[in-house]
Structure 1
Amino acid sequence: MAKRLSTVEKHPQLARINQAIDDGVSYRDISSLFGLSLAATGRYALSRKSELAKVFADEVSVTDVILRALEAADHARDVRRQSRHGSSPLVQSRAIRAELDALSRLGDHLGIDDTAIADHLAEGADLVQMVVAHLRDDETARQLLDRMERSPRFANDARAIREALATSTPGANS
């Protein structure tokens, strides 16, 4: 299924719009200058960044929406369990439903689908390969592994990278 072009992508001055975004002009100013809606301008500007770039820039991304959806699902599970002990399940289930609906609309609005998730995962895998190559080539970069090992979330990853480096680099004993 071919992706439909957005209003911005069809605009005759797309190159100038891209330059304005790159120059840091506000979305509101770009919208006014080129006769676009603020929402369309914002969606287009976000679509130009890779999912990984959005994560690094602390912007709404596939990762953010998925993590929030998982958090809502966990909350829904907890509420369901608590509702068995006398709380009002109707009020709480409505609140959970409202949050999940909002997250779903947010995902739809940002165009997050299986393709976006696959792109995000591919970017992450490519980044990991580049980090490993850099660690293999630059002894001082191995300080990153020390930092990763101190983090509960990345300790196993750091050990796996060290093992990979040890087996792929003759004589390595980091």
Structure 2
Amino acid sequence: MDMRSLSASTLPACAEAEAEERPDGDAVVELFYFICCKYNVQHHLDVVVDPTHESIVWRNDDLTIVLCMDGVIAEELQDLVNQLGCAIILGSEFRNMVQCDLSIAQYTRRLKVLVGVLGDISEHITNQTITLQLIRGLSHKLQARSRLLLEEIAANECARLDGHPKASSTTLNVGQAAHHG
């Protein structure tokens, strides 16, 4: 919008358009109008005029009203935009998180922090998504070990359900060297 054509008289239409998108928007517009009435400057809102044809005092008052209105409405929108921007960035960081050279404890702690922060900004992540991301982000070596362990658990569960004794167990040592005595 051209700053030369911006005046308080154009604000009610902008505020009303914005109010339609928010359930409490009418109250914000009405409250702002009442504030202008208190300071006897509501005429800046009532009549559309060309600010370039008005006095310096009138333009100064008009600019003050525009800045006040911008502060009232833009702050709410700015919070929403910031929240959505954070959600996009943190969500992307969560989905792209990989273990690399982090320990399992560091990796899971980082995922937990990201999930918590996303929850704080109303971006809730399901347990299934967390579990899948945890597994997807593991180092390839641990992913292979995890798959073997899951296969062993599944085989044991199938054997148990079929009434067979426990299937043979394969020992899985993760991150520990075999200790022979």
TM-score bracket, shorter-length normalisation = under 0.3
| Structure with the greater alpha carbon radius of gyration | 2
Q: What's the TM-score, normalizing by structure 2? A: 0.27
Q: What's the TM-score, normalizing by structure 1? A: 0.28
